[in-house]
Amino acid sequence: MPWPTVEYVAKMIDHSLLRPDLTTDDVRAGCALAARYDVASVCVRPADVPLAVRALDGTDVAVGTVVAFPHGSSTAHVKAGETAAAVGYGAREIDMVLNIGRLRAGDDRYVADDIRAVAEQTAARGVLLKVILETAYLTDAEKARGCRIAEEAGADYVKTSSGFAPGGATLDDLRLMRTSVSARVGVKAAGGVRTLDILLEMAAVGVTRFGATATAAILDDLARRRGDVAG
C-alpha cells in the first residue's frame, strides 16, 4: 500500500499551541511552522486568536481555538460568549469541552443545550465545531452517549481529549466514537498523537483530524519514508 502524500496528511493535522507557558514569540513560531507545512489549522488559546489570524493571513491554514478549556464547566451562556468573541476575532474552528460532570450524571438535556448554545454561534457563521468528550473520564457507554448528543446538538466533529487529562486518544475509543456518529460527523484524535505510525493507525479506523504538537516530526518522518527527502 503506497504512503499517503505529506500534503494529504498535513491537511489532517491541527497544530496545537495550547500550553499555558507559550509566549507570543512561541505562538508566532508555531504559526510559521503550520504555514510551512500547510496543515489544516492551528489551535491556539483564545487570547492568541488575533495574533494567529495576523500571522497566517494569506495562507490556507485556518485559525481555531478552544472554549471552556480544558474542564468544560463554564455555563452555556459563557461558552456561547467565548465562541462569539473568538469568531469575531477571526477563528474558523472551535474546539469546545462539553460538561463532563453533567454527562456522567446522565443529564443529557443539559449537555445538549450546552453544546447547542455554541453550535448556534458557529453554524450561522460557517465555523466548524468540534466537541471534546475528555474520554479519560468516561465509560464506554458515556462516550457513545456523548457522541450521539454532540451530533444531535450540531457538532461537526467529536474529539477525544483536551490533552490535559490523565489519558488521551486510544484506538478503542476512536473505533467506538466512529460507530457512535453518522458519516456527517468527523472524529478528531488528540492527546498522544506523537508519531506517524500512531496517526496512520488512527486514520485507518476513520479518524480525519488530529491534534498534534509533534507536527514537524510526523510530517518529516513521512517525507523520509516516501523518499521525498534524503536521510
Is residue 95 annotated as part of the catalytic site, yes or no? yes
Which of 48, 95, 114, 173 does the annotation list as catalytic? 95
Residues near 18 by Cβ (< 8 Å), separated by ≥ 6? 43, 44, 45, 66, 69, 163
Which of 79, 130, 143, 159 does the annotation list as catalytic? 159
Is residue 14 annotated as part of the catalytic site, yes or no? no
What pTM does this model have? 0.95
E runs forming strands in the chain: 13-17, 41-44, 62-67, 93-97, 128-132, 157-159, 186-190, 209-212
Q: What is the pLDDT along the chain (231 residues), one digit of tens a residue?
A: 589 999 999 999 999 999 999 999 999 999 999 999 999 999 999 999 999 999 999 999 999 999 999 999 999 999 999 999 999 999 999 999 999 999 999 999 999 999 999 999 999 899 999 999 999 999 999 999 999 999 999 999 999 999 999 999 999 999 999 999 999 999 999 999 999 999 999 999 999 999 999 999 999 999 999 998 644
Query: Whose CA is closest to 150, among 195, 187, 124?
Result: 187
Structural domains in the chain? 6-224 (3.20.20.70)
Which of 79, 130, 143, 188 does the annotation list as catalytic? 188
